[in-house]
């Protein structure tokens, strides 16, 4: 799917990718954002094409080996709300991958499958830019929950 640039608003944290720390700590960040009401605020602010919350993965290895930034955000156009940050997502050709099942296992399994099976067998390469996890409305712990992974391609 091709899409022009857009903005998201949300909160971000830096995570180490060493020994799977990011895989353990990002679900904890989601629990905290749900518990403290930030996710409800982001749902209210959502005024873009993506209907739901977005996890944005930004690889920082070029500047800081083995680290990434992770955002919990919503697509948003407008002034920066107090206590939140704005991130510009560049225009890209996106590979959109369907994810079915309860979080966080189904999302983490889909990531592994994309990089271990899909990329090696496809003619596409990963383009520079953030990767997105698109979380639709619904119960993310349901076995039939639907979400997506968006990866910029070249």
Mean pLDDT lowest among 32-36, 59-63, 89-93: 59-63
Alpha carbon of residue 147 to chain centroid: 10
CB-based burial of residue 28 (10 Å sphere; 0-12 exposed, 13-18 middle, 19+ buried)? exposed
**Virtual CA dihedral for 19, 24, 25, 27, nearest 10 degrees?**
150
- The model's pLDDT over 19-54, given as tens digits with 9 standing for 90+, comes to 999 999 999 999 999 999 999 999 999 999 999 999
Question: Is residue 61 pLDDT above 90, yes or no?
Answer: no
């Amino acid at each position: 799917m091709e899409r022009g640039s857009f903005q998201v608003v949300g909160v971000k944290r830096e995570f180490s990718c060493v020994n799977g720390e990011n895989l353990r700590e990002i679900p904890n960040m989601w629990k905290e954002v749900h518990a403290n009401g930030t996710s409800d605020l982001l749902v209210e602010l959502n005024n873009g094409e993506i209907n739901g919350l977005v996890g944005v993965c930004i690889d920082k290895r070029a500047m800081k080996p083995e680290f990434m930034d992770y955002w919990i955000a919503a697509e948003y156009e407008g002034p920066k709300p107090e206590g939140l940050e704005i991130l510009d997502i560049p225009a890209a050709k996106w590979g959109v991958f369907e994810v079915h099942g309860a979080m966080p296992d189904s999302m983490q399994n889909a990531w592994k499958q994309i990089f271990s099976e899909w990329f090696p067998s496809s003619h596409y390469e990963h383009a520079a830019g953030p990767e997105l996890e698109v979380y639709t409305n619904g119960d993310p712990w349901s076995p039939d929950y639907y979400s997506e992974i968006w990866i910029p391609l070249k």
